[in-house]
Amino acid sequence: MQRRAFIKRMAATLGGFILLSRLPLSSADNGHENAAPPHLPWPYTRLDPEETRKLGHLGYYLFECAGGAFWSIAVQLREKIGYPWTLLPIPSREEAMEAVREGKHLHSLFQYGYGGAVGWGTLCGALNGSLAIIQMVVGEHKHWDALGKKLMRWYESTPLPSDKSNEYAVKGMMYVPKEKMKSTKWLPSNISGSTLCHVSVGKWCEISGYASGSKERSERCGRLTGDVAAMTVQLLNTYFEKGLSAALALAADVRLSPTTASCRVCHYKGKDYEAGQFTRGYLACESCHRDMRPHAHTFVSLGGGHGEAGLKGPSWARDLAIAGLGAAAAAGVAAGVLAGSGSREDRGEEEKEG
């Protein structure tokens, strides 16, 4: 209840913010000049994922990852729908193209999200900007939550940058003019295993051999921004045309990692402190917690299954929980899963298993 009230307040705040910062309105405004911004959700229309991939890459050059992802989708909605998207203080496609050609700086929304929020290395900005759009156009709380969780886990478990964005860059098919590109090479891809900018960038640098301050690393994040925005549009297109289950089925093999699912049997946001409910979150546990053997003796019993719409664990983890296996079995399962977690080969396995 409280959470819902809070979210309503947030929506009201966002609405107020947009009202205060409105720009002179374009002709696409259709006579809404004095109208207050409508409540969320704002209207959506089918967008082309490939167009979005290229715009996300262009957006990165001007507004970095979070600003670029948000802009690439919002600007298209403004072009196609007009009001209320005309209320957003974001540059037009033409202004963006001109700024890239002439090396000018422009302001847009969500630029704060660069480098995992003001460079802090937390949530990848491409996710941050994309999640914002998902929430703005999908009214139902449960639905944007489920779609957002899909996007997060897809990011953790998909090799990025994608072959498509590499191909566009190599063949000169991006909107950023070739002479302005930071790199036109085919860049290595990897599975980050994390939604954190710090981990995602660090692991990519390790496998590619490029420094975090290199042009190639920056270009990698530009292509990745397009990839995340394109996936967001794929999810949204399917959601609005065929409904939530169809959208979630788009990435049906994208589930919690087996380790995370096994940990979340006990560790989730709940009320039973003794059972392990003094933590929360879906971050891939194995990306940080490597050796959990010391606490295996404390596994007393497995609680009930704990799934949330749109992001279930592998079914064996839930079956185990439902079967209510005892201490020895629980410790054995966790120790077995843990013994192999964290290694590269394992990530490949995890992908195949889903």
Which parts of this chain interact with ligand HEC (CB under 6 A)? Answer: 196, 259-260, 262-267, 275-276, 278-279, 281-285, 287-289, 292, 294-295, 298-299, 302, 330, 334, 338
Q: Residue 240 Cβ, how far from ligand HEC at the closest point, in Å?
A: 31
Can you read off the two tokens belonging to residue 267? 């560790």
Q: Residue 26 Cβ, how far from ligand HEC at the closest point, in Å?
A: 43
Closer residue to ligand HEC (CB): 138 or 146? 146
Closer residue to ligand HEC (CB): 226 or 310? 310
Closer residue to ligand HEC (CB): 78 or 306? 306
Distance CA 350, CA 332 (A): 19
What is the number of alpha carbons within 13 Å of residue 227 lying toward its C-beta? 24
Q: Residue 318 Cβ, how far from ligand HEC at the closest point, in Å?
A: 13
Closest C-alpha to 221, from 30, 59, 6 = 59
Neighbour-count burial of 118, counting CB atoms closer than 10 A to its CB (0-12 exposed, 13-18 middle, 19+ buried): exposed
Residue at 253: amino acid letter: D
Distance CA 115, CA 286 (A): 23
Q: What is the DSSP string of 300-331?
A: --------BTTB---HHHHHHHHHT--HHHHH
Q: Residue 262 Cβ, how far from ligand HEC at the closest point, in Å?
A: 5
Q: Which DSSP symbol is given to 50?
A: H
Helix (H, G, I), strand (E, B) or coil at 36: coil
Closer residue to ligand HEC (CB): 45 or 279? 279
Q: Residue 303 Cβ, how far from ligand HEC at the closest point, in Å?
A: 7
- Residue 217 and residue 201 in contact, taking contact as beta carbons nearer than 8 Å: yes
Closer residue to ligand HEC (CB): 218 or 277? 277
Helix (H, G, I), strand (E, B) or coil at 166: helix
Q: Residue 260 Cβ, how far from ligand HEC at the closest point, in Å?
A: 5
Closer residue to ligand HEC (CB): 145 or 216? 145
Closer residue to ligand HEC (CB): 164 or 203? 203
Q: Residue 261 Cβ, how far from ligand HEC at the closest point, in Å?
A: 9
- Residue 61 and residue 222 in contact, taking contact as beta carbons nearer than 8 Å: yes
Entry field: residues in the chain: 354
- Residue 134 and residue 235 in contact, taking contact as beta carbons nearer than 8 Å: yes
Q: What CA dihedral angle connects 135, 240, 159 and 340, to 10 degrees?
A: 80
Q: Residue 104 Cβ, how far from ligand HEC at the closest point, in Å?
A: 37
**Which residues fall within 8 angstroms of residue 142, CB to CB, at 6 or more apart?**
309
Closer residue to ligand HEC (CB): 62 or 201? 201
- Residue 182 and residue 109 in contact, taking contact as beta carbons nearer than 8 Å: no
Place of tokens 């077995």: 336
Closest C-alpha to 76, from 48, 104, 38, 57 = 48
Q: Residue 231 Cβ, how far from ligand HEC at the closest point, in Å?
A: 22
Closer residue to ligand HEC (CB): 87 or 256? 256
Distance CA 240, CA 133 (A): 14
